[in-house]
Amino acid sequence: MTDQNLAAIELGLDTFGDVTRDSAGELLSDAQTIRNVVDQAVLADEVGVAFFGVGEHHRPEFAISSPEIVLAAAAARTKNIHLGTAVTVLSSDDPVRLFERFATLDAISNGRAEVILGRGSFIESFPLFGYELSDYEVLFEEKLDLFTQLLTEKPVTWQGTTRASLTDADVFPKTEGGLKAWIGVGGSPESVVRTARHGLGLMLAIIGGPSARFRPFVDLYHRSLAEFGRDTLPVGVHSPGHVAATDQQAWDEAYEGFQAMHNTIGRERGWPPYSRMRFQHDVGPEGSTYVGSPETVARKIVDTVRTLGASRFDMKFATGTLSHEKMMTSIELYGTKVIPLVRDMLS
């Protein structure tokens, strides 16, 4: 993909609705966190961000378990920005109800809804909704098969082992222009091929290591699309980051939140404690974290989209306990400084 084509890249933002702290250091309520996320989406729209993604989680660090409701609230207060998930945990949801909810969001937003489907990086939703982890693979494969059939918005006949069969079933409401859908992939070749087989966009969740490490997955995706006789489809990247006036300010503001989130998850997964040295590596050229001044973040985004030929880059701007006020500043700088710089560098 040439720089001329890359100059049309979509630049978005993602959040999991991380529960943050107020000026006194106290954790905000889940309710206030959700209201803040809607305000963040409104600001992102005002400063020209292309997409705002909201993750689905069912654990105490994140306030958002029903992304579509939060996105519908944002849709009513925004005009141009596309609104979607990052990701929807399809394995523990029902594909029919999921399509209906997003078709409804698409109507409210005048065609701005997107869905990024995934298996999720956490497992709390499985026991919560009565699913067995031993069915992890079959749940996603079967439900993805049904969901992609529903995207045609024609009557569906389907049979599987994870839900009731359907015979010539029609689902409502219909959208006016179709629903854009992606699959979030963490780096499994099998997942890349599956994404191509179902004809959906590939969203790479790059949360560790240099972006060049993921180029073989992009090449595999394009080869697989060709083998399945499908047209070229978009490749996107999701990575964490934070923008402030200077590199040092951005590093100092972001580190505590990154450390808190990494250590919380690390205690469950057996990771070593997070250090400032590890953080500085992650924000450097060989890391997958986009923290710094507008110029630093823009250069790193440009390097990533050139390396991968990506047509979308979504920065996860909320990590850990970083305050709402600092996130709002990061969003403003991302829209008013980073996005123009990226376009200038690519054109």
**Amino acid 120: pLDDT:** 80
What is the CATH class of 3-346? alpha beta
Strand pairing category for 166-169 and 156-158: antiparallel
Question: Hey, where are the domains in the chain?
Answer: 3-346
Q: Which residues contact 30 (CB under 8 A, 6 or more apart)?
A: 19, 63
Q: How far apart are CA 172 and CA 333, in angstroms?
A: 40
Torsion, CA 335, CA 238, CA 219, CA 193, rounded to 10: -140
Helices (H), the chain: 3-6, 30-46, 67-75, 95-108, 125-128, 136-150, 189-198, 215-227, 247-269, 276-282, 294-308, 324-333, 339-346
Residue-wise pLDDT for 179-207, tens only, equals: 999 999 998 999 999 999 999 999 999 99
Q: How far apart are CA 84 and CA 333, in angstroms?
A: 22
Grade residue 2 by pLDDT with cuts at 50, 70 and 90.
Answer: low
In sequence order, what are the beta bridge partners of 156? 169
Per cent of the chain over pLDDT 70 is 98
Mean per-residue pLDDT for 73-91?
98
Mean per-residue pLDDT for 223-250?
98
Residue-wise pLDDT for 273-330, tens only, equals: 999 999 999 999 999 999 999 999 999 999 999 999 999 999 999 999 999 999 999 9
Using the predicted structure, report yes or no on whether residue 79 has a pLDDT greater than 60. yes
Grade residue 106 by pLDDT with cuts at 50, 70 and 90.
Answer: very high
**Amino acid 121: pLDDT:** 82
Residue-wise pLDDT for 17-60, tens only, equals: 999 998 888 999 999 999 999 999 999 999 999 999 999 999 99
Grade residue 6 by pLDDT with cuts at 50, 70 and 90.
Answer: confident
Closest CA to 248 of 298, 316, 296: 296
Grade residue 7 by pLDDT with cuts at 50, 70 and 90.
Answer: low
Record the pTM.
Answer: 0.96
Residue-wise pLDDT for 149-173, tens only, equals: 999 999 999 999 999 999 999 999 9
